[in-house]
């Protein structure tokens, strides 16, 4: 755990006024994923993509927040370093895995597995930014991010399998 705090501290040394304002916005941009999903669902050509994304986002959000966090009960990094200025709302739930990262990667993976490579590239880039922002904001450890990304990728794949199985 010390190496993770050291890594987060190095990020803190690179803080700038611009990034201090931008990172909470980037972090909260995860709220755009349901909007993207809604747009996909309303277009007949992308409805399957939207169904896969809906299943993936739901699984990722529910399991990250209501099962995995309670199972692992990992305290957040800002609780270890009280001198760090938190730039956004302090989350009061547990840290592992990062649900923001999990949801973002599940949305990107869902669209990737659905075959929409252009949109998936955009969503993967956004997911990477969200993942970094969670560390910049000092609310997640690097392993929380890695766990969220892997779990989100799995939810995207599983969402595709479930939707395709249900359509047979």
User: What is the 3-class SS of 48-66, one letter each residue?
Assistant: HHHHHHHHHHHHHHHHHHH
Q: Is residue 154 within 8 Å of 112, Cβ to Cβ?
A: no
Q: 41: number of CA atoms within 13 Å, CB side? A: 11
Residue 167 has pLDDT above 80, yes or no: no
Report which of residues 2 and 143 the model is more confident about: 143
- The model's pLDDT over 115-128, given as tens digits with 9 standing for 90+, comes to 999 999 999 999 99
Secondary structure element (H or E) that encloses residue 15, with its range: none
Residue 23 pLDDT > 80, yes or no? yes
CA atoms within 13 A on the CB side of 66: 6
Q: What pLDDT does 81 receive?
A: 79
pTM: 0.94
Q: Chain-wide mean pLDDT for the chain?
A: 94
Q: What angle do CA 109, 76, 148 make, to 5 degrees?
A: 10
Per-residue pLDDT tens digits for 76-115: 998 887 777 788 778 889 999 999 999 999 999 999 999 9
pLDDT at 83: 78
């Amino acid at each position: 755990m010390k190496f993770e705090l050291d890594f987060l501290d190095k990020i803190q040394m690179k803080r700038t006024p611009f990034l201090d304002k931008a990172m909470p916005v980037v972090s909260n941009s995860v709220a755009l994923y349901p909007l993207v999903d809604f747009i996909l669902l309303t277009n007949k050509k992308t409805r399957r993509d939207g169904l896969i994304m809906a299943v993936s986002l739901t699984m990722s959000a529910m399991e990250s927040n209501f099962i995995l966090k309670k199972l692992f009960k990992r305290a957040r990094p800002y609780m270890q370093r009280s001198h760090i200025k938190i730039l956004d709302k302090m989350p009061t739930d547990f840290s592992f895995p990062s649900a923001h990262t999990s949801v973002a990667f599940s949305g990107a993976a869902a669209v990737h597995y659905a075959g929409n490579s252009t949109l998936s590239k955009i969503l993967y880039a956004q997911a990477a930014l969200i993942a970094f922002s969670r560390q910049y904001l000092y609310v997640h450890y690097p392993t929380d991010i890695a766990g969220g990304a892997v779990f989100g990728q799995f939810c995207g794949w599983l969402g595709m399998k479930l939707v395709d199985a249900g359509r047979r």
